[in-house]
Amino acid sequence: MPLFDQLHPEWQSELARHKELIESIDRFIQDREIAPTYDRVFRALSDPIASTKVVIFGQDPYPTKGHAHGLAFSVDSSVSPLPASLRNIYKELKEDLGITRSDGDLSSWVNQGVMLINRVLTTEVGQSMAHDSLGWQAVTETVAQILGERDVIAVLWGNSALQLKKYFPEESVVASVHPSPLSAYRGFFGSQPFSQVNTKLALKGLPAVVWQ
CA distance 67 to 71: 10
At 13-27, the pLDDT tens digits run 999 999 999 999 999
Catalytic residue among 39, 60, 103, 132: 60
pLDDT above 90 covers what percent of the chain?
A: 99
Strands 34-35 and 114-118: unpaired
Three-state SS for 142? Answer: helix
Contact yes or no for 83/48 (Cβ under 8 A): no
At 165-178, the pLDDT tens digits run 999 999 999 999 99
At 129-165, the pLDDT tens digits run 999 999 999 999 999 999 999 999 999 999 999 999 9
pTM of the predicted model as reported, rounded to 2 decimal places: 0.96
Q: What distances in angstroms separate CA 83 from CA 76, 103, 163, 196, one per listed residue? A: 11, 11, 24, 24
- Annotated active-site residue 60? The verdict is yes
